[in-house]
Amino acid sequence: MKCKKCGNKAVIKLRAHRIALCREDFLSFVLNRVQQTIKRYKLFVAKERVVVAVSGGKDSLTLFDILQRLGYPVEGFHIDLGIDGFSNRAREAVEVFFAKREAPLHIRFLREEVGAGMREIASQVRRPLCSLCGLMRRYIMNRFAWEKRFSALATGHNLDDEGAALLGNLMRWQIGYLARQAPVLPAIYPRLAKKAKPLALLSEREVLAYCILRAIEYHDEQCPYAKGATSRSNKEALNLLEYYSPGSKIRFYQEFLKHQGIFPDSASHDLRECSMCGFLTNRETCQFCEILEQYTGSPVPVRDSETGKG
C-alpha cells in the first residue's frame, strides 16, 4: 500500500476518502481537515481566545495538539470530578501532557467548587449519575469560560459523536435539537462563550490514528460509572453503514449541515439569570443550583472570581 501523495509506504487507508497515506501526509491531512472545519463553519479566528475542555482522553488531547500546531494560542481547562482513582489518573494524564509542551492549563476540582465529589452528590440527588455529571461539567465549563472571558469553548467531539447524536435526534424527531447541532454554536447571550467542535469532520478512527502517530499519552479508561451509553448503538449502526458504503458517515453529517437551516431553533430565546447564582438558565433557578440545594441544603458557595474579573 503506497501513499497517494508521495509514493512512500502508507500507514493508513482512508476508505471514506479513497486514499492511503504515509505518516507525514496523514498528519497533514488531519491538520488541514481541522483548519478547513474552523474556516468553513466560522468556529473562531486567529485572534480569539479559545479554551479547550480536556478530559484527558484521546479526543480532547488530540484537539489541543492540533490547535497548538496550527498556531492558535489555546489554553486547556480540566475538571477533576473527584471520582475515586479514576479522576486522579485522568488529571495526571492532562498535567503530564501540558507540562511537556509548557502550555497554559486551568484545573478546577469539583470537591472545591461544591464541597463533594460526583459520587457523593449522586448518592443524595435523585438523578442518574451520567446526566448529573454532564450537567455539572457543562455548568462549570460555561461559567469558567465566562469568568475568564474566553470567546470560544472548544470540545473534542468527533464525527462519530456528532453522527451518533444526529441519528439519535432524527430517530426521535427532536427538531429543536437539530437546529443546535453544528460544529459551532454561536454565543446566544453575552455571558455565554460560543461552542466549537473542530474535530467534527474527523472520524474516531482518524483521531485515534493521529493520537497514536503523535505518541500522545492519553487517559484510556472508562469511567467506572458509565453504563452502556445510548450513543454506542447509534455509533455501531453508522459504522455498519460505513463498512458497506465507505463515506456514508461523513455524507450523512455534512449533507445535514447543508440543510440545517430548515429546522427552527426554539431553545435559545428565554434565557435569564438564575435567582441563586446569577448564571444563565431558562428557569427561575438553574439546575446546577437546584442539585446543590438538594445535596447541601444551601446555594452555591460564592467565590471572588465570580465577579468575572479574574
Write out the residues near Zn ion by the rule CB under 5 A: 3, 5-6, 8, 22, 25, 274, 276-277, 286, 289
Q: Least distance (Å) from Zn ion to the CB of residue 256?
A: 32
Q: Do residues 21 and 14 touch, judged by C-beta distance below 8 A? A: yes
Taking the complex as a whole, the smallest distance from the CB of residue 136 to Zn ion amounts, in Å, to 12
Q: Residue 286 CB, nearest distance to Zn ion (Å)?
A: 3
Cell of 231: 450513543
* Cα four-point dihedral sign 159, 78, 119, 221: positive
**Judged by CB, which is closer to Zn ion: 2, or 42?**
2
The sign of the torsion formed by the CA atoms of 27, 156, 119, 164 equals negative
Torsion, CA 23, CA 26, CA 30, CA 35, rounded to 10: 110
Q: 221: which residues sit within 8 A by CB, 6+ positions away?
A: 86, 89, 90
CB of 300 to Zn ion, least distance (A): 6
Minimal distance, residue 299 CB to Zn ion, in Å: 8
In degrees, to the nearest 5, what angle opens at C-alpha 233 toward C-alphas 159 and 172?
85
Q: Are strands 152-154 and 50-53 parallel, antiparallel or unpaired?
A: parallel
Q: Which is nearer to Zn ion, 102 or 304 (CB)?
A: 304
Query: Which residue's CB is nearer to Zn ion, number 133 or number 274?
Result: 274
25 versus 162: smaller Cβ distance to Zn ion: 25
Of the two residues 193 and 196, which places its CB atom closer to Zn ion in the complex?
193
To Zn ion, the closest distance from the beta carbon of 305 in angstroms equals 16
Rounded to whole angstroms, how far apart are CA atoms 117 and 115?
A: 7
Nearer to Zn ion among residue 248 and residue 287 (C-beta): 287
